[in-house]
Amino acid sequence: MHSRRIVFVIFDGFQSLDLAGPHEVFQRAGGYDCTVVAPEPGPVPAESGLPVHAGHGVAGLRPTGVDTLVVAGGTGVYAARRDPRLTGWIAAAARGARRVASVCTGAFLLAEAGLLDGRRVTTHWARAGRLAREYPAVTVQPDPIFIRDGHLWSSAGVTAGMDLALALVEEDQGQKAALEVARHLVLFLRRPGNQSQFSVGLWSMQPSSDPVRRAVAAVHADPGARHDIAGLAAHAGLSPRHLQRRFTAELGIPPAAYVERVRVEAAQRALENGVDPVDVIARRYGFGTAETLRRSFQRRLGVTPSDYRDRFRSTSGEHL
C-alpha cells in the first residue's frame, strides 16, 4: 500500500506534545511516512528543553510530495514566524499538499505564511485573541477542539492535536482504524471537533462568597429551571441588582451568560449520550424551543444541535 507522506514542522521552542501526540497516532495507524523538518536539521529544543531530532532543514527538503502538512505550536512560534525561510517553505509545501493542519499556536505560522486569510480556524484558547488581533483576515473561533475548513484543519492546544490526528486517520482509513489507534493509545474516541475547549466549571472563576455559591449551585442542580435574575437572587439572599454585580465580579461573566453556558453543556451531554429529540432536550434544559437551542448552539459552538449529534456519533461508534 502506498504510504501517505506526513511532514511535521517544528522550531526552537515548539511544544513537544504537538509533535509527539499526532506522530504517535499516525505511526500507530500505519500507512504513513512521517518526516520532521525544522529551520535547520539536527537537535531542536522543545519549550520544555526536550531535544528532538529534525531529520531535515527547510533548505534540504523539497516542499513537494507532501500529503499532509502538520505545523506544531509552542512559545517559540512568535520568533519562528519571523523566519522567511520557514514561512516560505510552509507556503510552498501547502500549495501541493492534500491537507494542511496546525496544532495549537502553529496557526500563527500558517497565518504568517498567508494560508489562513478568509478561513475559520481555532488555536489554544489563551492565544485566540492574539491570533485574531494580529491577523484580522482570519476568522478565529476559540471554542472548538478542532475545526476543518476545506483542506485546512486546525486544533486547540496540546492533546487536541491527537483528536485532530485521529480525525485525519478516520478520514483516510475509516472509523474502525481510528478506534483501534485510540484503544492502543488509551484515548477516548469521543471528542468531535465542535466540542468545546471550555467547561463552565473548569474555566470560569470560582465564586468567592456564599451567596454567589448558592446561586451557582442552584443553576447546576437544575439547568432547566427558570433561573432569571430574581430567582437567582432569591437563592443568594441578595437583591437582583446586588447579585448581578457580585456574580459578574466573582465569576467574570454575568448570570444570564453563565446560565446559558451551563444549559448548553447539559444539552451537549444529552445529544452525545441519548436519543431524545432536539425539541425535548430544548424544553428539558430551559431553552423552551428547539429554535432557541439552535441559536445558542450556533452562537457558542458554531454548529446546530442536530449537526453536533451527527458529528459526535460519527466518531463515537463504540465505547472504549
Residues marked as catalytic: 104
Instruction: Please state the φ and ψ torsions of residue 9, each to the nearest 5 degrees.
Output: -105, 125
**CA dist., res. 183 & res. 161, Å (int):** 17
Closest Cα partner for 223 from 167, 169, 319, 296?
A: 296
Q: Strand pairing partners for 103?
A: 155
Please report which residue ranges of the chain form alpha helices under DSSP H.
16-29, 77-80, 84-96, 106-112, 128-134, 160-173, 175-184, 200-203, 210-221, 229-236, 240-251, 255-273, 278-284, 290-301, 305-316
Question: 3-class SS at 148?
Answer: strand
Provide the grid cell at 180: 483501534
